[in-house]
Structure 1
Amino acid sequence: MVASDSQPTEPVKVLSGQLTRLEIFWRDHYDWLLGRGYQLRTRYRPDWKPSWEGTGKLSIQCADGSGPQHPSTMAAQRISDGELLTFKRISKSRFPCEIDIGQYFSSPPVCNDPRNHCVPIYDVLQIPDDDDTHILVMPRLREYHDPRFDTVGEGVEFFRQIFEGLTFMHKHDVAHRDATHMNIMMDARLLYPDGYHPFLPWRTPDMSGYAKHFTRTQRPVKYFLVDFGLSRKYAPEDRPPVEPIIAGGDKSVPEFATADACDPFPVDVYTLGNLIKMYFLDGDEFTSSRSGFEFMRPLVTDMTQADPSKRPTMDEAVERFETIMKGLSSWKLRSRVVKSKDSYFMGFFRSIRHWRRRIVFIAKRVPPIPSPN
């Protein structure tokens, strides 16, 4: 979950398409960012005029009609090469380690290790009129679960990469401390070759229709851990550390209810296991479970033990996961992922499309686990 001290956006302005109070920051820094080689959307130009005015269109129908879902993030573009970016506005006094940890994993030789799944930090900009406020410049990423997983093999590759990425952080003596559902993203450029709107991602960039995409089997993706606002790096001789409780997005961690301080590394193991439990195995009244992943149940149960000393380390979790993965048949890996809240009719049509793709993939010997490496 992206951390911020900002207030929620005003609903009236959001619906009307006007700039919210929190978007004013970006408008006021448009020219300054432009001078540093970064361009914000037309919505934030100081002389912006809404494109829908006088056209009979609603703001929601226009590319410049909506702002970010979270007040601390913003879509941008690098002028030199056109790469689409995400800016994240942070307070260094509130999150003193975020820049250093992000830059550590983004610098050679660490950034060149294929096991590194930390979001790259391209640049850090200090706001000229505020010593405490910085902007992190990162690649444009998308939520890891959107579009939906088509096959079990796609889900397995997601597990593999995130297990690998969190293990890599731990090997470098860094605890993420908020490795939850909202802090895992993916590079979706190959899935969406024609792009998508940064804040209404199911639409095309110009809002003219629905954004078309491939499956992960057709275009494998890389997943990233993001948001190091609560993360900490330790000296090897200081492990295992005991830190005051700072709750991230997952408030169900057992230690949070029984102690004032804990080792954050087993907390990472719990939050990752609980993510799989919640979003792939069990679900709840708001979240669909996804069928086909029961083979993860024993490992997830151990990762979410109430006693942190009984949880496996990430190294042990990876070793067990690799054994599980080797036991899965190609037929199992190519099977369709069904969400528990799918309707019968939508499931029927998705099943037909899935079988068409499946036959083609088998004929072309497309791997059932779509690794981007």
Structure 2
Amino acid sequence: MAESTRDTPDTPEHGLKLHGRLDQSEHFWRDHYQWLFEQGYELRSRYRPSWKPSWKGTKKPWDECTDGLYPLHNSAIDAQRRSDGELLMLKRTKKSLFPHETEIGLFFSTEPISGDPRNHCIPIYEILQVPDDDEIQIVVMPMLRVHDDPRFDTIGEAVEFFRQMFEGLQFMHSHNVAHRDVTFFNVMMDARELYIDRYHPCRPWRKLDLSANARHYTRTQKPVKYYLTDFGLSRKYKAEERPPQEPIIRGADKSAPEYKTTDACDPFPTDVYLLGNLIRENFTEVQLSPSETKRLGFQFMKPLVADMTHDDPSKRPTMDEVVERFETIRKGLSSSKLRARVVKAKDSPIAGFFRALSYWHRRVDFTVHGTPSIPTPAKPCSVL
């Protein structure tokens, strides 16, 4: 088991102002609480029309109560499936703004494509049409968490992350779908097996009841599967339409060179850039701000990442070429390199010392028991 990576809450600014009261963006969920309940999904108690804050009349702070916490995203919320208690994510989407989101999500969630192990698109369990607004749909999905929390323990764990993401984007491209928004928070993981304790969706470093930090294993102990999410900007083409020339639509990462030099581009090379830039910003060579910490030990990825982020889109490799080159890189890494600890440049000496102690204990155990240095992917989220 590894230590928790988060110690302090990240309360949204609006939460501090409202002190636990419902934000305007939450009124939709309150107004549809009963309808969602009838569809088989139960929201937290704060969205019940008759809700009374549990901290009222007590000395307990509102932000230490499960019904006081704000969702992490305005358009998405956690819910419990009534049939089995599984925690899920409900996402509100507007057809006129994102006309292709549910179509593409369902395409990758339908057999035989959904059962392909190369498929790393978040599975969609159900699409709910809101009864009082033809424009709004609710997408029901598994509860995922950001791909790098908890932190990567070994180089081999990160190598498996790279492999799965290269494979996932290659799979999308092989079906003529461009993602168009491959950014940090759209790359998630299924952490159900990774965590010993169920964690709270709004404070994922805490237990579901907020009583303590949620305990977890390392990815080597409990391998995970990573997913590409959010198809709001994605587009699907016919094979004969490639390469397409699409008007520029900027997602969260607006740094692609073609965004600054043209009004239209082929989104497939831009996808390659976006995934390469994600790795560059978080693993290889970007100068980070004083508040951020850079991971060390990933120099072996620099040549491939440099080609993926080439200023000229025509000179970037395709995802087929990326996968092929990465496989050569992966096979060239020694077992000792793969088992090496992921160190951050700004880790404090004291924290680094204790992390190193627990790491070496795990490493000896893994070596003795022959645990693979590159984790085998976990069982994927099923499509209901």
Q: Same fold (TM over 0.5)?
A: yes
* 2:188 aligned counterpart, secondary structure: strand
SS, match of residue 213 in structure 1:
coil
Residue 309 to residue 344, structure 1, CA distance change in 2 (3 Å):
same
State the one-letter code of the partner of 1:313.
T
Aligned to 2:103: 100
Cα deviation, residue 15, structure 1: 5.1
Q: Residue 3 of structure 1 corresponds to which residue in structure 2?
A: none
Q: Is the 8 A contact 1:118 1:226 kept in 2?
A: yes
Does structure 2 retain, via aligned residues, the 8 Å contact 1:43–1:64? yes
> Where in structure 2 are the equivalents of 1:300-319 lying within 5 Å?
300-319=305-324
Residue 364 of structure 2 corresponds to residue 334 of structure 1: no
**Identical pairs, percent:** 62
Q: Are residues 1:280 and 2:311 paired?
A: no
Q: After the TM superposition, which parts of structure 1 deviate over 4 Å for at least 4 consecutive aligned residues?
A: 12-15
Tell me which residue corresponds to 1:201.
Answer: 204
Matched with 1:41 is: 44
For 1:238, the equivalent position in structure 2 comes to 241
Which residue number corresponds to residue 351 of structure 1?
356
Q: Does 1:174 align with 2:153?
A: no
Contact 2:156 2:338 in 1 (8 A): yes
Q: 1:121 aligns with which of 121, 124, 135?
A: 124
Partners of 1:258 and 1:21 lie apart in 2 by 39
**Residues 188 and 227, structure 2, Cα contact 8 Å, conserved in 1:** yes
Query: Does the residue aligned with 2:258 lie in a helix, a strand or coil?
Result: helix
Query: How many Å apart are 1:244 and its aligned residue?
Result: 0.3
In the TM superposition, residue 287 of structure 1 has moved relative to its aligned partner by: 3.5
Q: In the alignment, residue 322 of structure 1 is paired with which amino acid?
A: E
CA contact (8 A) 1:143 1:186 kept: yes
CA distance in 2, matches of 1:21, 1:219: 39
When residues 300 and 10 of structure 1 are mapped into structure 2, their CA distance, relative to the original with a 3 A threshold, is closer
Q: Which protein has greater RCO, CA pairs closer than 8 Å, 6+ apart?
A: 2
Local SS of the residue matching 1:305: coil
298, 302, 307: which one aligns with 1:293: 298
Closer/same/farther in 2, CA of residues 287 and 270 from structure 1, 3 Å limit:
farther
Match of 2:141 in 1: 138
- Equivalent position to 1:111, from 111, 114, 138: 114
Amino acid in structure 1 at the alignment position of 2:91: K
Per-residue deviation, 1:288? 2.2
Report what 2:35 is aligned to: 32
Contact 2:15 2:70 in 1 (8 A): no
Q: Aligned residues, how many?
A: 365
CA distance, structure 2, for counterparts of residue 277 and residue 15 of structure 1:
38
CA shift for structure 1 position 193: 3.0
Higher mean C-alpha deviation, range 16-25 or range 299-308: 16-25
Question: CA shift at 1:77, angstroms?
Answer: 1.2
Whole-Å Cα distance in 2 between the matches of residues 206 and 169 of structure 1? 38
Letter in 1 for 2:359: H
For structure 1, the residue ranges without an aligned partner over 5 or more in a row are: 1-8
1:185 aligned residue? 188
What SS does the corresponding residue of 1:301 show, helix, strand or coil? Answer: helix
Structure 1 stretch 329-338 or stretch 52-61: which is displaced more?
52-61
CA 1:210–1:15 in structure 2 vs 1: closer, same or farther (change >3 Å)? farther
Name the residue aligned to 1:69.
72
Structure 2 distance, partners of 1:282, 1:43, is 44
> What is the Cα-based RMSD across aligned positions, in Å?
1.2
Matches within 5 A, 1:353-372: 353-372=358-377
Residues 228-267 of structure 1 show CA distances to partners (whole Å, capped at 9, x for unaligned) of: 0000000000000000000111111000000000000000
Do 2:206 and 2:212's aligned partners in 1 also have CA atoms closer than 8 Å? Answer: yes
C-alpha displacement of 1:82: 1.8
TM-score computed with the length of structure 1 as normaliser = 0.96
Question: Does the alignment pair 1:247 with 2:250?
Answer: yes
